[in-house]
Amino acid sequence: MSGSRRGGRSGIEPYAAASQAADAPDLAQRAATHAALGEPARLAIVDDLAVSDRSPKELGERHGLPTNLLAHHLDVLEAAGLIVRFGSSGDRRRKYVRLLRAPLERLTPAQAGTGGKVLFLCSHNSARSQLAAALWTARTGQPADSAGTHPAAKVHRGAVAAARRAGLDLSNAVPRRVETIARDAQVVTVCDRAHEELEPAATWWHWSIPDPIETGTADAFDAVVADLDARIRKIAPRDSTRSVQKGSSA
């Protein structure tokens, strides 16, 4: 399988290299945007422009910047594609500055747009990976699956109960062994043991989630749900995220 056990190479690295090469222009643009924002005065200007277009005179007065320094900051922001300067439709001698929001929206990497199914892996496939797959599908509406390197006989009752409290249903879930992994699958290991036992491809993600079964308390399982949910919220496509409420049906 792709991303096999230790001792053999995974065979998926060329695809990862090609993907990284394709992402290079976007990475460079995001780095330029971060660099432009990495100065307090420029960040303050961007915050100001987020709610209102301003004239250069207004910006200078509001932020205590002399004309030459303001011009420098605006040049940097304009070069990064963050602002545009344009003439007034009233007094043609005046200019205004407007924030361009698209570069800011691209600062967070859209990692979850995989196109294929997401596969969550842990050692026993009895808690963390089951919860992760259920949360992913409930949160994004996208398919997800789970498996384990040493699957347990059944899903732990604590995971079933925690899922129920989060509005998810694991009552019919059954642990299974990880076998062949589809080439377009986004693999996520959610326990250190599975991550270290397998040989992850460069495209895999690893979330180091504590095993709630070791403690066995409801709080431990709920903490895993909260951790997984926060990670999924952060990287899932924004236009597909759905709310998961405690006690509601997913």
Question: Residue 161 burial by CB count (10 A; 0-12/13-18/19+): exposed, middle or buried?
Answer: middle
More confident residue, 226 or 9: 226
**Backbone φ, ψ for residue 44 (5° rounding):** -65, -40
pTM of the complete model beyond 0.75: no
Model confidence band, residue 90 (pLDDT cutoffs 50, 70, 90): confident
Q: Are residues 197 and 229 located together in one domain of the fold? A: yes
DSSP string, 176-218: -B-----TT-EEEE-SHHHHHHB---TT-EE-----HHHH--H
Residue 54 lies in a domain: yes
Question: Quick check: 1 pLDDT over 80?
Answer: no
Of 65, 88, 105, the one marking the end of a domain is 105
Residue 247 lies in a domain: no
For residue 74, the domain's CATH number is 1.10.10.10
The type of residue at 86 is F
CA proximity to 166, closest of 125, 241, 223: 223
For the record, the structure tokens of 68 come out as 């030459």
Residue 52 lies in a domain: yes
The predicted-structure confidence for 15-72, as pLDDT tens digits, reads as follows: 444 445 545 678 888 999 999 999 999 999 999 999 999 999 999 999 999 999 999 9
Q: Are residues 210 and 132 located together in one domain of the fold? A: yes
The type of residue at 207 is W
Question: Quick check: 247 pLDDT over 70?
Answer: no
Residue 32 lies in a domain: no
The type of residue at 19 is S
d(CA 45, CA 237): 29
Residue 117 lies in a domain: yes
Residue 250 lies in a domain: no
d(CA 24, CA 237): 20
Residue 28 lies in a domain: no
pLDDT value for 10: 40
d(CA 74, CA 85): 9
Q: What's the domain range around 79?
A: 38-105
The predicted-structure confidence for 194-212, as pLDDT tens digits, reads as follows: 999 998 888 899 999 999 9
Q: Are residues 134 and 172 located together in one domain of the fold? A: yes
For residue 154, the domain's CATH number is 3.40.50.2300
Work out how many domains the chain is built from and give that number.
Answer: 2
Q: Which range is least confidently modeled, 3-12, 103-112, 142-151, 216-225?
A: 3-12
Residue 59 lies in a domain: yes
For the record, the structure tokens of 84 come out as 């545009």
Helix, strand, or coil here: 74? helix
How crowded is residue 22: how many other Cβ atoms within 10 Å of its Cβ? 9
The strand ranges marked E within the chain are 83-87, 95-99, 118-122, 144-148, 186-189, 205-206
How crowded is residue 205: how many other Cβ atoms within 10 Å of its Cβ? 17
Of 105, 122, 152, the one marking the end of a domain is 105
